[in-house]
Amino acid sequence: MEAGEGVSSATPTEEMNGAGNLMDFLDEPFPDVSTYEDFHTIDWLREKSRDTDRHRKITSKSKESIWELIKSLLDAWSGWVVMLLIGLLSGTLAGVIDLAVDWMTDLKEGVCLSAFWYSHEQCCWTSNETTFDDRDKCPQWQKWAELMTGHTEGAGAYVLNYFLYILWALLFSFLAVSLVRVFAPYACGSGIPEIKTILSGFIIRGYLGKWTLLIKPVTLVLAVSSGLSLGKEGPLVHVACCCGNLFCSLFSKYSKNEAKRREVNCLSSALIFVLQVSYYFPLKTLWRSFFAALVAAFTLRSINPFGNSRLVLFYVEYHTPWYMAELVPFILLGVFGGLWGTLFIRANIAWCRRRKTTQLGKYPVLEVIAVTGITALLAYPNPYTRRSTSELISELFNDCGALESSQLCDYINNPNMSRPVDDIPDRPAGPGVYNALWQLALALIFKIVITIFTFGMKIPSGLFIPSMAVGAIAGRIVGIAVEQIAYHHHDWIIFKNWCRPGADCVTPGLYAMVGAAACLGGVTRMTVSLVVIMFELTGGLEYIVPLMAAAVTSKWVADAFGKEGIYESHIQLNGYPYLDVRDEFTHRTLATDVMRPRRNDPPLAVLTQDSTTVEDVETLIKDTDYNGFPVVVSRESERLIGFVQRRDLTLAIKNARQKQDGVVSSSVVYFTEDAPQLPASNPQPLKLRRILNLSPFTVTDHTPMETVVDIFRKLGLRQCLVTRSGRLLGIITKKDVLRHMAQMMNQDPESIMFN
Amino acid sequence: MEAGEGVSSATPTEEMNGAGNLMDFLDEPFPDVSTYEDFHTIDWLREKSRDTDRHRKITSKSKESIWELIKSLLDAWSGWVVMLLIGLLSGTLAGVIDLAVDWMTDLKEGVCLSAFWYSHEQCCWTSNETTFDDRDKCPQWQKWAELMTGHTEGAGAYVLNYFLYILWALLFSFLAVSLVRVFAPYACGSGIPEIKTILSGFIIRGYLGKWTLLIKPVTLVLAVSSGLSLGKEGPLVHVACCCGNLFCSLFSKYSKNEAKRREVNCLSSALIFVLQVSYYFPLKTLWRSFFAALVAAFTLRSINPFGNSRLVLFYVEYHTPWYMAELVPFILLGVFGGLWGTLFIRANIAWCRRRKTTQLGKYPVLEVIAVTGITALLAYPNPYTRRSTSELISELFNDCGALESSQLCDYINNPNMSRPVDDIPDRPAGPGVYNALWQLALALIFKIVITIFTFGMKIPSGLFIPSMAVGAIAGRIVGIAVEQIAYHHHDWIIFKNWCRPGADCVTPGLYAMVGAAACLGGVTRMTVSLVVIMFELTGGLEYIVPLMAAAVTSKWVADAFGKEGIYESHIQLNGYPYLDVRDEFTHRTLATDVMRPRRNDPPLAVLTQDSTTVEDVETLIKDTDYNGFPVVVSRESERLIGFVQRRDLTLAIKNARQKQDGVVSSSVVYFTEDAPQLPASNPQPLKLRRILNLSPFTVTDHTPMETVVDIFRKLGLRQCLVTRSGRLLGIITKKDVLRHMAQMMNQDPESIMFN
């Protein structure tokens, strides 16, 4: 008995601190015992049950004193506090980024004399020339050539402006790529593939760190302002996740639990993605993310970057309903969206693979500079590509009002009709429209090609805006075409009921919106969220049927060529261990086909509950790199009693060797409830039951892999043991599952990056 | 060897049909083998893997011939076809119901002389009196008193109208309750608690049957028209689910698989609920339900019941933005919504419990008649309760335009100002508004009380419209109050920046909308879906922040009093076996505390793999009512090898006894791969390995119940076996889990209705 009590696992110092600390000690035996290494996957069930324990402890303590009660209330509210902070910070960042992008985009062309920090619009907004035509031409705003030489017209001024435009673009993109390379390599790309992977339970240290949070917004502004074909929505999600991570570290509830951290982490502003990724998260989290979105919307509204006190980016109002017959062009736009999605994904992945495998990948700065140069060179001559992409989309979405000065609205006026303002009946297109059509067609080709090469470079780059731009251009072209056909052929049967002469019947702006939705859907394959986003961006709810028709068609078409969206393709290209909820596993393999050890492998590395020595364990740890070891009753019976983590085992032995007298290499390790009484001559046994997971997940060897994949997916397991009639046969890890799935899809199983 | 071959499990007839049929036979050994009994729960994993098998078989067959290829394509498309049909039928039904309700609601007051099948609005719409004031008073539309006596004014006419109004209401509700009682008892209520339960995997035969589909729409029209305080949104979801069920039975893919059936079944029109219930369903399903919604929207648009070619029920357009300071009343409305939700749920559940347990429940027809009588009696004198509730909400949501003739818009005109149309600056309220305020306050109290007694009666009754009405009335009252305070106290600090004299600053209609959202949230506790619905109903996207602020507050307040929404409360009241995704189980119990057998129970009923006789099995089946039995190696080792369903076992033995020679009571049942060769004197063994589930789900006895609950919830299990170091200890069924959860929440565990 005395010997048994002597081997208490608590060290003397800790024993003196009394019962309260002893409890702490039992729950978290050693420092760092429950953290994970970089590029490892987390165990959801374990993290969850740790949080429940923590919660239970706080609740029971809260009855002891007022102070503990306050602490428990603070703990309960910390989720909301974190969300409030995230909302405030990410809303502020989004607003500041918008303002900065506006200013810097315009800086490429000219400067505001009255206040150099004004963008073109702000500069001329405050001027007295308030008629619509002249709003863009106010004396305070001067192009660079005008400022430097005094000339506004002529080839010389044009060339100078052109040259400075390219120079600014190169400067911005050089700064962006350099900052990313030097300070925060993780700040590049859209971040969405990585965030999806992190949310699914993978650890990438530093990906959501402070440096990323600092550098990404700055470089994002630079990258967008440089005129490259990229958007800021995806990177903004990444930035919001970084905010989440930052604020998580303020509260021990979140900083110490990888599952809880993920819960808050990225959901903040990524409501859209929540809808797809919310598998492991309880519904409470959704409410919180709503709350954060509310705060962010608030903050954004206070900053008011769009200058119209609306929360939506592209606000449109159309005055005509749509007609059934228009569904045909809408569906054609859907087909176009699907084809573009397929083309883009294939071409972009091929290019990114080439970048990874060839010399090209070694010169990221040069690549960015080159692409920026080409983009600026080709973009400037065409008015539709010179301006910022979001302005372009906004113009394409807009309906032609009577006061519209845009080239796109250059219709031939019929002098016989005097219509009220704001209502344009159908009219023949003027030369401006035909001119615009050509320019739009060129812009479409340019955007399609350049976006393929832009996405994936080492700068922050989103994909929403370029995809939508491609769709909006195509849509507007189709829209104008349909409109003109309808005007010139009123007598055709299909137009007869629909377009009476003199009445407004086709809204080309709606076609642009539909096209944008189709292309966005084709590229990202978002489901529910797609339509939601389109609502958010446009404020149109009347047009749900056209949008849905196009989105569904686009998804069908794109899915026919391959199930994966751009983010999944990039996840696969990078070999992230992401278990997609959408893949359906339908092969007939069984757990026994996937588990290790395979037929000719050495037997599974196991520990026995009462016959392994400390030395044996140390040898096993040294010789293998498994994340954990099953513990069995004995090597003969092979009956499973639990699973022990490699990390816990290493720490426990190290700790015991340092602090616990009598634990030597020949000490026996006991995982049983009571260590037997040993004669004093024997070395002290080491009792490790408290680090043993007594409820490891098991399946039988006959379980279909379909079920196993489901279990891994839904429960977020890290590993699963395989048994047959109570005997331990092998182990299946998440990596094994992913490799098996890759193999079944005829992909290289070794591409999975994973530990 | 010969003996071994002699005991082939196929019967002679089936053997003659050759290999193809033998394969079928192996997959589905006996007819009905995989169906479930009424009020049982389904096994998701099993259903899923059956569907995968079926799919695999079709795919491999499709290479054999063109015909099989066509069949496989048809099979692949059947999901979309079903959705198309559901969309068409439920859209048509929704449209027809709307038209019928409009007509019958107006029928209570009068009739259209030009065409008796016209509603009041349709009747006067076609008349020549097109000014807004007179639109409601056209000669073609005559109240009953006018038609019968020729008098339009006076006490006599009023009393006659009043009397006929009550009479019609009684007639409608009597018809409704009688039809429900006689033809389709399942057609009563909103159906949402039951659908949530069915979707979670419970079988209630007939709940989604043809009779329900026939009767529910008819009785719904009658119930709504009778003027009772109920809505049609919930029952419409039920009707759409019935459509789904009907079309499912056309395709064997769906009719033979309970999981696939659920997949299509109810998702059709219940996109809203999908977002909450989509746990077990793959994302593909969501796309399909989008498609169905598209078709339904289409059909509805063609029928155009709202007469404005808009898809939304309450279309509003406000002309003023909202101000930060207004968040205070919005949040107060949220608090009101939460309190109303709590009050309603508690009072309604208490009343329904009383109905269930006392004599009251025996006279459903009388109850409906009484409530209808009281409702009609009290509703008629007040113009805000006399009209249909959706009209009321629509008026409350509306902003006061210059042409509005409503009493609510009776502001005192300031003759000094001549403003353009459609823009009402702030003005003092006239006597009409004060009058309306009193009537609204009375209507509010009336609605609150009567709704509590109405929901749960034996007629189809939804809750959305009454909840929204309560909130809209309260909101409009608050809105008018704020508006008048702002008008009379322009000089107060809070109004100074916000309300300049003569400018429009408060929109009472927005308050009504916010109040409606808050009350809907308080009662149903919907999360994401709530705001989405409000969008759908109102078309307003600008006001997401007020709506969200009120909805979040309402949820907080209501959750403080109890976590459950009205549907969950009704599920619990009825004892349905519904495992709520939202409940968090945080108790520290282990699997060993919940599993059966308990400490003093007789040992677990198990079968052994090779030592049980047919007689033993039959005795076991007769003596117990378990759904299945674990199979172990032997009673001594207790090592688990599989699980066999009671139903399969019964059928297999019955079949074998009838068709297989030599199987007698003393035959040994073998679950092993090969039956041993027995001397000819012994009775023929019965090999049953093919009905043995070789991958039963197991957990160890140390697994925390938190994890077990998670597993049941996410994998949709029916039962789970408990082992310790490979030995079978006991079993946990879904019922055990639900009972344990009820016990932990201090509820009566025996209330769970379940098999």
> pLDDT digits over A594-646, tens only?
998 888 888 888 899 888 888 899 999 898 888 889 999 988 888 888 999 88
Residues of chain B contacting residue A559, judged by C-beta atoms under 8 Å apart:
none
Half-sphere exposure (Cβ direction) of B440: Cα atoms closer than 13 Å: 26
Q: Domain A324-574 sits in which CATH superfamily?
A: Clc chloride channel (1.10.3080.10)
Say whether residue B319 is in contact with chain A using an 8 A CB cutoff.
Answer: no
Question: Taking 90 as the threshold, does the pLDDT of residue B342 lie above it?
Answer: yes
H-helix segments, A489-624: 493-496, 508-524, 528-538, 544-561, 566-574, 591-594, 614-623
Asked whether the beta carbons of residue A527 and residue B286 sit closer than 8 angstroms, the reply is yes
Query: Residue B667 and residue B152: Cα distance in Å, rounded?
Result: 90
Q: What is the pLDDT of residue B12?
A: 36
CATH number belonging to the domain at B591-751, selected among 3.10.580.20, 1.10.645.10, 3.30.70.260, 3.40.50.12640: 3.10.580.20
> Given pLDDT bands bounded at 50, 70 and 90, which one contains residue B23?
very low
Tokens standing for A232? 């800021």
Say whether residue A45 is in contact with chain B using an 8 A CB cutoff.
Answer: yes
Q: What is the pLDDT of residue B306?
A: 46
- Angle between helical axes of B508-524 and B464-488 (0-180°, round to 10): 140
Question: Taking 60 as the threshold, does the pLDDT of residue B587 lie above it?
Answer: yes
- B194/chain A closest Cα distance in angstroms: 21
Q: What is the pLDDT of residue B405?
A: 61
Tokens standing for B29? 């050994």
Mean pLDDT of chain B: 77
Residues of chain B with CATH 1.10.3080.10: 85-303, 327-411+423-574
- CB nearest to B726's CB, from A581, A703, A727: A727
pLDDT tens digits, B505-529: 788 888 988 898 889 888 887 654 4
Alpha-carbon dihedral sign for residues B251, B256, B260, B264: positive
Residues of chain A contacting residue B724, judged by C-beta atoms under 8 Å apart:
641
Tokens standing for A186? 């993780």
Phi, psi of A398 (to 5 degrees): -70, 145
Continuous segment of H or E residues that includes residue A72: helix A66-107
For B563, name the nearest residue in chain A, comparing CA atoms only.
Answer: A284
For residue A675, is it left (φ>0), alpha (ψ between -120 and 50) or beta?
beta
Question: Taking 60 as the threshold, does the pLDDT of residue A165 lie above it?
Answer: yes
Say whether residue B45 is in contact with chain A using an 8 A CB cutoff.
Answer: yes
Q: How does B626-635 read in b/e, with b if 16+ C-beta sit within 10 Å?
A: bbbbbbbbee
Cα distances (angstroms) measured from residue A261 to each of A88, A210, A249, A256, B262: 19, 15, 9, 8, 34
| Sole residue written with tokens 């719904």 | B220
With contact defined as beta carbons under 8 Å apart, do B730 and B696 qualify?
no
Site from A52, A60, A559 to mutate, B interface, most B CB atoms within 10 angstroms: A52
pLDDT tens digits, B219-233: 999 999 999 999 887
Q: What is the pLDDT of residue B33?
A: 44
For A55, name the nearest residue in chain B, comparing CA atoms only.
Answer: B586
Question: Taking 90 as the threshold, does the pLDDT of residue A35 lie above it?
Answer: no
- Return the ∠ at Cα B516 (arms to B511 and B517), rounded to 5°: 100
What percent of chain B is predicted at pLDDT more than 70?
A: 77
Residues of chain A contacting residue B286, judged by C-beta atoms under 8 Å apart:
527-528
Query: Has domain B327-411+423-574 been given CATH number 1.10.3080.10?
Result: yes
Query: Residue A311 and residue A166: Cα distance in Å, rounded?
Result: 33
CATH number belonging to the domain at B85-303, selected among 1.20.140.10, 2.102.10.10, 1.10.3080.10, 3.40.640.10: 1.10.3080.10
Q: What is the pLDDT of residue B742?
A: 82
Question: Taking 50 as the threshold, does the pLDDT of residue B270 lie above it?
Answer: no
Min mean pLDDT across A30-39, B2-11, B303-312 is at: B2-11
Say whether residue B492 is in contact with chain A using an 8 A CB cutoff.
Answer: no
Question: Taking 70 as the threshold, does the pLDDT of residue B293 lie above it?
Answer: no
Q: What is the pLDDT of residue B351?
A: 93
With contact defined as beta carbons under 8 Å apart, do A411 and A433 qualify?
yes
Asked whether the beta carbons of residue B544 and residue A706 sit closer than 8 angstroms, the reply is no
Relative to beta strand A719-724, strand A698-700 is: parallel
Say whether residue B422 is in contact with chain A using an 8 A CB cutoff.
Answer: no
Higher-confidence residue of A484 and A340: namely A340
Question: Taking 50 as the threshold, does the pLDDT of residue B562 lie above it?
Answer: yes
Say whether residue A6 is in contact with chain B using an 8 A CB cutoff.
Answer: no
Asked whether the beta carbons of residue A287 and residue B586 sit closer than 8 angstroms, the reply is no
- A586/chain B closest Cα distance in angstroms: 6
Q: What is the pLDDT of residue A208?
A: 84
- CB nearest to B541's CB, from A535, A545, A695: A535
Asked whether the beta carbons of residue A549 and residue B711 sit closer than 8 angstroms, the reply is no
**CB-count burial class (<10 Å; 0-12, 13-18, 19+) for A633:** buried
Higher-confidence residue of A307 and B690: namely B690
Residues of chain B contacting residue A700, judged by C-beta atoms under 8 Å apart:
642, 694-696, 698
Asked whether the beta carbons of residue A584 and residue B282 sit closer than 8 angstroms, the reply is yes
Site from B541, B556, B711 to mutate, A interface, most A CB atoms within 10 angstroms: B541
- Determine the 3-state secondary structure of B396 from DSSP: helix
Q: What is the pLDDT of residue B527?
A: 54
- B232/chain A closest Cα distance in angstroms: 23
Query: Residue A485 and residue A93: Cα distance in Å, rounded?
Result: 46
Say whether residue B694 is in contact with chain A using an 8 A CB cutoff.
Answer: yes
Cα distances (angstroms) measured from residue A153 to each of A107, A139, A379: 19, 15, 20
Asked whether the beta carbons of residue B545 and residue A301 sit closer than 8 angstroms, the reply is yes
Q: What is the pLDDT of residue A88?
A: 76
> Given pLDDT bands bounded at 50, 70 and 90, which one contains residue A295?
low
> Given pLDDT bands bounded at 50, 70 and 90, which one contains residue A13?
very low
Asked whether the beta carbons of residue A711 and residue B715 sit closer than 8 angstroms, the reply is yes
| Sole residue written with tokens 């506090």 | A81
Q: What is the pLDDT of residue A462?
A: 86
For A312, name the nearest residue in chain B, comparing CA atoms only.
Answer: B542
Asked whether the beta carbons of residue A283 and residue B290 sit closer than 8 angstroms, the reply is no
- A56/chain B closest Cα distance in angstroms: 8
pLDDT tens digits, A408-445: 777 766 544 444 433 445 567 778 888 889 999 999 99
By residue count, chain A amounts to 755
Min mean pLDDT across A89-98, A497-506, B592-601 is at: A497-506
Site from A641, A699, A707 to mutate, B interface, most B CB atoms within 10 angstroms: A707
Residues of chain A contacting residue B704, judged by C-beta atoms under 8 Å apart:
49, 52, 695
For residue A645, is it left (φ>0), alpha (ψ between -120 and 50) or beta?
beta
Q: What is the pLDDT of residue A307?
A: 47
Highest mean pLDDT among B167-181, B558-572, B643-657: B167-181
Site from A289, A290, A331 to mutate, B interface, most B CB atoms within 10 angstroms: A290
> Complex ipTM, two decimals?
0.70
Instruction: Count Cβ–Cβ pairs < 8 Å, chain A vs chain B.
Output: 173
Mean pLDDT of chain A: 77
What percent of chain B is predicted at pLDDT more than 90?
A: 17
Q: What is the pLDDT of residue A163?
A: 92
Residues of chain A with CATH 1.10.3080.10: 324-574
- Determine the 3-state secondary structure of A143 from DSSP: strand
Query: Residue B290 and residue A547: Cα distance in Å, rounded?
Result: 11
> Given pLDDT bands bounded at 50, 70 and 90, which one contains residue A501?
low
Q: What is the pLDDT of residue A536?
A: 47
Min mean pLDDT across A308-312, A532-536, A708-712, B39-43 is at: A308-312
Q: What is the pLDDT of residue A228?
A: 92
At B521, the amino acid letter reads G
Q: What is the pLDDT of residue B373?
A: 95
Say whether residue A312 is in contact with chain B using an 8 A CB cutoff.
Answer: yes
Cα distances (angstroms) measured from residue B509 to each of B398, B476, B535: 5, 6, 15
Asked whether the beta carbons of residue B294 and residue A545 sit closer than 8 angstroms, the reply is yes
> Given pLDDT bands bounded at 50, 70 and 90, which one contains residue B531?
low
Query: Residue A339 and residue B51: Cα distance in Å, rounded?
Result: 31
- CB nearest to B298's CB, from A49, A545, A700: A545
Cα distances (angstroms) measured from residue A655 to each of A10, A290, A615, A618, A704: 10, 45, 15, 13, 42
Instruction: State the average pLDDT over residues A309-317.
Output: 48
Tokens standing for A711? 């279990």
For B298, name the nearest residue in chain A, comparing CA atoms only.
Answer: A545
Asked whether the beta carbons of residue B294 and residue A552 sit closer than 8 angstroms, the reply is yes
By residue count, chain B amounts to 755
For B272, name the nearest residue in chain A, comparing CA atoms only.
Answer: A528
With contact defined as beta carbons under 8 Å apart, do B195 and B230 qualify?
no
pLDDT tens digits, B116-129: 888 887 777 665 54
What percent of chain A is predicted at pLDDT more than 90?
A: 17
Q: What is the pLDDT of residue B442?
A: 95
> Given pLDDT bands bounded at 50, 70 and 90, which one contains residue B369?
very high
For B52, name the nearest residue in chain A, comparing CA atoms only.
Answer: A586
- Angle between helical axes of A464-488 and A431-454 (0-180°, round to 10): 150
Half-sphere exposure (Cβ direction) of A714: Cα atoms closer than 13 Å: 22
Tokens standing for B719? 């039962």
Say whether residue B710 is in contact with chain A using an 8 A CB cutoff.
Answer: yes
Q: What is the pLDDT of residue B722?
A: 93
Highest mean pLDDT among A175-184, B261-270, B575-584: A175-184
- A326/chain B closest Cα distance in angstroms: 13
Query: Residue B641 and residue A216: Cα distance in Å, rounded?
Result: 56
Tokens standing for B755? 């098999």
Q: What is the pLDDT of residue A751?
A: 63
Q: What is the pLDDT of residue B313?
A: 46
With contact defined as beta carbons under 8 Å apart, do A521 and A337 qualify?
yes
Asked whether the beta carbons of residue A710 and residue B45 sit closer than 8 angstroms, the reply is yes
| Sole residue written with tokens 């995809």 | A467
Residues 6 or more apart whose Cβ sits within 8 Å of residue B283: A276, A527, A581, A582
Residues of chain B contacting residue A286, judged by C-beta atoms under 8 Å apart:
527-528
Instruction: State the average pLDDT over residues B249-265.
Output: 73
Partners of residue B612 on adjacent β-strands: B669
pLDDT tens digits, B713-735: 878 788 899 998 888 999 998 88
Residues of chain B contacting residue A555, judged by C-beta atoms under 8 Å apart:
287
- CB nearest to B527's CB, from A283, A697, A715: A283
Higher-confidence residue of A588 and A608: namely A608
Q: What is the pLDDT of residue B714?
A: 78
Query: Residue A576 and residue A403: Cα distance in Å, rounded?
Result: 52
Asked whether the beta carbons of residue A527 and residue B696 sit closer than 8 angstroms, the reply is no
Question: What string of DSSP letters covers B296-327?
Answer: HHHHHHHH-TTSSS-S-SS----SS---GGGH
> Given pLDDT bands bounded at 50, 70 and 90, which one contains residue A193?
confident
Say whether residue B695 is in contact with chain A using an 8 A CB cutoff.
Answer: yes
Residues of chain A with CATH 3.10.580.20: 591-751
What part of B 717-736 touches A (C-beta under 8 Å)?
Answer: 723-727
| Sole residue written with tokens 């007698």 | B664
Higher-confidence residue of A524 and B35: namely A524
Closest C-alpha to B459, from B390, B364, B378: B364
pLDDT tens digits, A36-78: 777 777 777 777 777 777 888 888 888 888 888 888 888 877 7
Tokens standing for B303? 């029928």
Residues 6 or more apart whose Cβ sits within 8 Å of residue B606: B629, B630, B631, B632, B635, B638, B728
Query: Residue A341 and residue A334: Cα distance in Å, rounded?
Result: 10
pLDDT tens digits, B60-88: 888 888 888 888 888 877 777 777 777 77
Question: Taking 70 as the threshold, does the pLDDT of residue A528 lie above it?
Answer: no
